[in-house]
A = this chain, B = another copy of it.
Amino acid sequence: MTQQRRAFLGNIAAAGLAAQAVTAQAAEATGAAPKGAPAAPVMHDMSSLPPQWMGKEQIAMLVYPEFTALDLVGPQYMLANLWGAKVHLVAATRDPVRSDTGLTFVPSLTLDETPADLDILFVPGGSQGTLKAMQDARLIGWIADRAHRAKLVASVCTGSMILGQAGLLRGKRATTHWATHSLLKDFGAIPVDERVVWDGKLVTGAGVSAGLDLGLSIVGRLRDPTYAQGVQLLAEYAPQPPFDAGTPKTAPPEVHQMMGTMFDGLLAGMRETARSAMGA
């Protein structure tokens, strides 16, 4: 027990530091030096670590203009706690990228700088920004290339539409935000109405907040349930939504109706874009 405990302390501390080192280096290179210094490491005994808790994953999380920050930050919290993993925030350039709710992030690597062989490629969703990303041939080509060699390809929300555009959903069980669920078959996917859907090396999540469940699910697979439970406790992830309107089935009909029409224009644009991808 003592051995296991010390191991976990080391894991969490080292994971945090690894992630920090990567982004610090990147920020320094662009002259956008962040204010924070790495936190002091928690004391740990390397010799006591269960080998299955130590990894060396290369994880690339994509950002693009007008992506939804919560799609990414939920899973990023979970993945950054994988001891030994390096989590990169990747974008077309190192310029700051603004999310659809107005948060601005500094990428740590450009697409070209991102390791060719990734353990995890992660793609967040959004609305109009996601449609634009689907229409960006260079980005879609990069995703297809990295996904082909990645050990795991993951998306949250409408991020799966981008994966679909890159041809990665054909014949695969997948999910997405409820509002774009009807588009999954446009990309040749097998639509599944579940929160997190695994199919081989592909894992897709439902809308926005599903990223927390997806991230924790990945941690459980890459380490083990005990490790994932530790990360869940660290996140105090015992959700208590104050309302029960999180899915079209549980939301009051008038709320579902009200929100559904928000996406009419986006759906039409994505369907048209999908047509070009599937026709090619």
User: Interface with B: A145-153, A165-173, A245-253, A271-279, which one?
Assistant: A245-253
* CB interface residues, A 218-251, toward B, < 8 Å: 220, 225-226, 228-230, 232-248, 250-251
Q: How many residues of A are counted as interface, with CB atoms below 8 angstroms from the partner's CB atoms?
A: 103
The residue in chain B whose Cβ has the minimal distance to the Cβ of A239 is B239
Q: Is the CB of B230 within 8 A of A66?
A: no
Q: How far apart sit A65 and B107, CA to CA, in the bound complex (Å)?
A: 17
CA distance A92 to B36 in the complex (A): 12
A24 CB–B CB distance under 8 Å: yes
Shortest Cβ distance from A65 into B: residue: B36
The answer to whether B261 and A247 have CB atoms under 8 Å apart is no
Contact A8:B212 (CB < 8 A) given known A103-B23, A104-B105? no
- Choose one: B22, B128, B255; the contact of A226 (CB below 8 Å): B255
In the complex where A34-B95, A36-B98, A98-B24 touch, is A232 in contact with B254 (Cβ < 8 A)?
no
Q: Report the minimum CB–CB distance from A52 to chain B (whole Å).
A: 15
Determine whether A46 belongs to the interface, using a CB cutoff of 8 Å to chain B. Answer: no
* Apart from the given pairs A69-B77, A87-B101, A229-B251, 19 other A-B contacts in the complex at a CB distance below 8 Å: A5-B257, A5-B261, A27-B96, A39-B66, A42-B262, A68-B77, A105-B106, A209-B235, A209-B236, A209-B237, A212-B239, A212-B241, A216-B243, A220-B243, A230-B259, A232-B251, A233-B248, A233-B259, A234-B262
* Separation of A25 and B199 alpha carbons in the complex (Å): 43
Q: Are A233 and B246 in contact (CB under 8 A)?
A: yes
> Would you call B101 and A16 a contact (CB within 8 A)?
yes
Whether the pair A98, B35 counts as a contact (CB closer than 8 A) is: yes
* A178 beta carbon closer than 8 Å to chain B: yes
Does A196 count as interface, using CB distance less than 8 angstroms? yes
Q: Does A76 contact B (CB under 8 A)?
A: yes
The answer on a CB contact under 8 Å between A239 and B209 is yes
Interface residue ranges of A1-44 to B (CB < 8 Å): 1, 4-5, 8-9, 12, 16, 19-20, 22-24, 27, 32-37, 39-40, 42
The verdict on A129 contacting chain B, using a C-beta distance below 8 Å, is: yes
Residue contact A39 to B127, C-beta cutoff 8 Å: yes
A120 at the interface (CB under 8 A from B): no
